[in-house]
Chains A and B, each alone.
Chain A
Amino acid sequence: MWSTAREVAAGDLVIIWLTRDLAQPLLITPGKELNSKFGVYRHSDLVGIPYGSKVGSRNGKGFIHLLRPTPELWTLALPHRTQILYLADIAFITSWLNIKPGSRVIEAGTGSASFSHSVARTVGATGHVWSYEFHEARAKKAREEFTQHGLDDIITLTHRNVCKDGFTVIDTVDAVFLDLPAPWDAVDHAKKALRTDRVTRICCFSPCMEQVLRTVTALNDAGFTEITMYETLIRPHQVDVVPPLPTIDIIGAQLKQAEARREAKRLRQIANSRQARGEKRKREEPNEEEMPGASTGDQAMDVGAADAADEEMASSHKKSKLSETESLATAVATAAVPSIPAASLESITPTKISLSKAFPEVRGHTSYLTFAVLVPRSTAPDLSEEEEEKASPVLTNRDTAPAESS
């Protein structure tokens, strides 16, 4: 498959990671240049650099990451010829179909070969993939790709309409994957291709429920069992690193402070204006009645004290200028007292926390995955009418008995 050497060599396919959302394949061809908005790179400069390196642009502006291709990266970077399969479906299908090193697998159609690369990786050199594509141009492209990626030994590509003409192998494969508009037309062909000496599996990939229902009927008629259907998706999460959420104690304290400051400011303004007026009056009327200063201060601290203070102001033409300013000063001092609790202050300082939530927009549906199993036909007993009745005792309606047991 792709290079497993430590360093990049001429002729290697590498994945150029530009950003989280932008990766592209690059065939290292000395003499060529990679020109992107992330800088300029000579292919020859990339030769000999270890896979996984961050590489700076020739002009010092921008960089790229040089990654070793994996089927998962290829899925992100590949040229789309068709709608492609993504990780969630590919991984789940691989697992359900029990595809592993040495497995022999049929895939139809090839499409953009996202699934093909992943399965080829998993079956390895001891396994094999037969891939079928009915669209000639796409088949040609895929063939070129497989050759370029060193997959000729693992993948056999055939340009053919399998619904009409069936597969090229008989009694050979462990698993069949059908990504076709009408998979039910290929079910009987698939049965012939599946090996008869052991349990084999099939998966049909269809976006619509109506397709699923037709497929299920076809699978049942062909003798497949354990028919089941799944839907799988990947929900990506985003992470924000933020300071710990502040407690309401802090907000409360802040509000109290603000209130006190506001009150102090108001009192100061009153004092200032009074002082101005008092000075004026002083000149006119030097003797004045004294008022207890403390009460003014206490009232200033009360909620709704503003009203009281206003009344007071209205009726306090005779107040001594001196005591008035004194009481206001104490009011200002007491008003400033509420402070943020020390403990909560501590908790909001530096340490940050990571919070995650699901992305606002995600893929909501890809396709339904219909699976079924075919048990070894050589070991299934050839049942006579009598035995069949005994074997599936609960069936009262003869028509509902398994249509196929041999």
Chain B
Amino acid sequence: MDSGEGPSSVSQPEGTGATKIKLGDTILLRIPSGDIRTLKLEKDSTINLGKFGSFFSNELIDQPYGLAYDITDKKLTVLPPKGLQEVEDTDATNELINDGQAVQPLTVEEIEALKKSGLSASEIIEKQIEQHANFQLKTEYSKEKYKKRKEAKYSKSFSTVIPTLFNVCEYWFNKDPSRLRDIRPDTLSQMLNLASIRPGGRYLAVDDASGVVVAGILDRLGGKGRLITICDVDSPPAYPVVTHMNFSKEFTTPVMSSLNWATADEDYTPVLPSSEPTSGSYKSDAQKTRLNKRKIASNALFQTRDELFNGEFDGLIVASQYDPFSIVQKLFPYLAGSASIVVHSPQVHVLSDLHGKLRDIPGYLGPAITEAFLRRYQVLPGRTHPMMNASGSGGFILHVIKIYDDPNASSVMAHRHKVKKLRAENTSNTGTPTPVQSKTATPSPTVIEDATMTEAEPMKDHSTNATS
């Protein structure tokens, strides 16, 4: 924790996101089945990928992220990048292929035996194809799919996933969207842009989404600027997503500090154990170090508090399980004029509620709720179509701008409305009723209110219609 100013010069872009694998990195490995495994890279250990093989951890150190490897005898060979595979169109159809036919005489046991005998994945697959009764009946597309499927089963290979914000967010989202409060990579990127996160900016964040928002802000600050997060625990908050970004300490510590809902309360004085020895002198060196540490921590806390209360932050991002109105109202005083406030929620209800409250309060300009839509396509030659499986929702975003209100400024419309109102009154006095509400598609509140308030007055019409 520091006083708030970031380092004067930014480290090389290399520092902001690893391009090479370092010892101690938390890495993501994509295995042939398409799943992703995560592990912390430790020295002189063996990494076991189950049926996809195992290898020595040292093999990965200093490798660039993003390459594919073949595993042989616990050693790695870099695989060339795979291009798209053109498939020749043939006349084959699945006309003659029936479901449920036993087409593969090779049994699981026999395949296991083949594997044990040291046959490579491709050799096993070739054997299976040879034995396959209907393989030649398949379309080329289908053959391709078959090989891909088998390959995913038998090949001993993997690739490392580059820890970009997009990849890390996607990994967490696919693993368990609820831990990210449904923040999908596209939603996250919209939040970061709407909040206008830039290097050197100063931001507030409330992240109960495993730290995905914090990871995003830190990534976009690039080691320069300031981020204060407010959490709901009395110890430094755990932001597990940030771990996967593999930021260096120098990259995050000068930039980020955390408070909680007690220490972020201006009317509250945190209760801290004294950092002065009770007897007036230190009993031991150990005590001295301990008390010094305590002092540094409490100084940092008060500095962060001061910084928050001095305000003028450029933006606020909220992804929290708590009532967003209470959060936004609490932190509103610490935002600068024109600051962006971005609130995410998996439920639109929470945000419409917030919207309904904010729009009546001067100081909040143009609240808007949006939902992100994302569709991914398979673009294989001749086989381009949207993916069969897609995420249902990345949640909803409310964006609003803080302004300094001027209660004396009156709207042009106010003047116009007065004139209109007068006119409207005049026309209604001449006897034309105003059944305007019935035109609106949504159940207009005024109609409902009238119905209940005017004691079944509208029912008269019905009754007269019915009896006459």
Contact = CB atoms under 8 A, between A and B. Distances in A.
Interface of A: 1, 4, 6, 17, 20, 37-39, 50-57, 60-63, 65-68, 70-72, 87-88, 90-92, 94-96, 98, 100-103, 118, 121-122, 124-127, 174, 198-199, 209, 212-213, 216-217, 220, 223, 225, 227-237, 239-243, 245-246, 250, 254-255, 257-259, 261-262, 266, 348, 352-358, 368, 370, 373, 375-376, 379-381, 383, 388, 390-395, 399-405
Contact of B66 (A91, A230, A375, A394): A375
Nearest to A209: B384
Given A39-B412, A52-B404, A246 B448 contact: yes
A122 B375 CA distance: 25
Given A39-B412, A63-B409, A101 B452 contact: no
Contacts of A103: 13
Contacts of B356: 239, 241, 352-354
Contacts of B336: 6, 51-52
Given A102-B16, A232-B374, A254-B459, A124 B222 contact: yes
Given A61-B415, A235-B370, A242-B443, A91 B189 contact: yes
A94 to B, nearest CB: 6
B188 A95 contact: yes
Given A101-B220, A242-B445, A261-B456, A53 B403 contact: yes
Nearest to B10: A126
Contact of B190 (A91, A383, A393): A91
8 closest pairs, A vs B, by CB? Answer: A52-B337, A101-B222, A393-B122, A102-B13, A56-B409, A354-B356, A52-B338, A95-B189
Given A4-B200, A243-B449, A356-B348, 17 more contacts: A52-B402, A57-B409, A61-B410, A63-B406, A65-B403, A67-B401, A98-B17, A98-B162, A126-B10, A220-B381, A230-B374, A230-B377, A232-B372, A237-B369, A241-B356, A357-B442, A404-B83
19 contacts: A54-B405, A63-B411, A66-B338, A88-B190, A92-B374, A95-B165, A98-B17, A101-B220, A102-B222, A198-B19, A212-B384, A217-B381, A234-B371, A243-B449, A261-B456, A266-B467, A353-B353, A391-B70, A393-B155
Interface in B124-154: 125, 147-148, 150-151
B236 interface: no
B5 to A, nearest CB: 14
B185 interface: yes
Nearest to A389: B122
A55 B80 contact: no
Q: Interface of chain B, helix or strand or loop or mixed?
A: mixed
* Most chain A beta-carbon contacts within 10 A, residue among B125, B408, B412: B412
B224 A356 contact: no
Contact of B77 (A232, A257, A391): A391
Interface string B226-238: 0000000000000
B: contact size bracket:
35 or more
B312 interface: yes
Contacts of B402: 52
B182 interface: no
Nearest to B220: A100
B192 interface: yes
A230 B375 contact: yes
Contact of A101 (B199, B340, B368): B199
Nearest to B84: A220
B121 interface: yes
B374 A223 contact: no
A237 B348 contact: yes
A212 B223 CA distance: 37
Interface of B: 10, 12-13, 16-17, 19, 63-67, 70, 77-86, 120-123, 125, 147-148, 150-151, 155, 162, 164-166, 185-186, 188-190, 192-194, 196-200, 219-224, 312, 336-340, 348-349, 351-353, 355-356, 359, 362, 365-366, 368-377, 379, 381, 384, 396, 401-406, 408-412, 415, 442-443, 445, 448-449, 451-452, 455-456, 459-460, 462-463, 467
B411 A52 contact: no
Given A246-B452, A254-B459, A402 B83 contact: yes
Contact of B406 (A20, A55, A225): A55
Contacts of B375: 230-232
A17 B223 contact: no
B463 A262 contact: yes
Contacts of A66: 338
A197 B349 CA distance: 48
A237 B120 CA distance: 55
A199 B411 contact: no
A67 B338 contact: yes
A198 B16 CA distance: 14
B84 A216 contact: yes
Contact of A236 (B337, B349, B369): B369
Contacts, number: 333
A225 B352 contact: no
Contacts of B349: 356
B64 A199 contact: yes
Contacts of B337: 6, 50-53, 68
Contacts of A223: 81, 83
Contacts of B85: 395, 400
Nearest to B193: A91
A394 B452 contact: no
Contact of A70 (B125, B340, B377): B340
A199 B460 CA distance: 75
Given A50-B404, A51-B336, A124 B353 contact: no
A404 to B, nearest CB: 7
A233 B373 contact: yes
Contacts of A72: 193-194, 196, 340
Contacts of B463: 258-259, 261-262
A200 to B, nearest CB: 10
Contacts of B452: 246, 250, 254, 348
Contact of B403 (A52, A254, A376, A394): A52
Contacts of B66: 199, 373, 375-376
* Most chain B beta-carbon contacts within 10 A, residue among A63, A88, A91, A96: A91
B196 A71 contact: yes
B222 A232 contact: no
A392 B81 CA distance: 10
Contact of B80 (A101, A243, A245, A392): A392
A258 B13 CA distance: 76
A127 B200 CA distance: 13
A72 B368 CA distance: 14
Contacts of B456: 254, 257-258, 261
A209 B386 CA distance: 12
B185 A56 contact: no
A250 B453 CA distance: 12
A239 B13 contact: no
A92 B410 CA distance: 39
A380 B411 contact: no
A230 B459 contact: no
* Most chain A beta-carbon contacts within 10 A, residue among B185, B371, B415: B371
A380 B81 contact: yes
B412 A38 contact: yes
B122 to A, nearest CB: 3
A127 B81 CA distance: 28
* Most chain B beta-carbon contacts within 10 A, residue among A66, A102, A245, A403: A102
Nearest to A53: B404
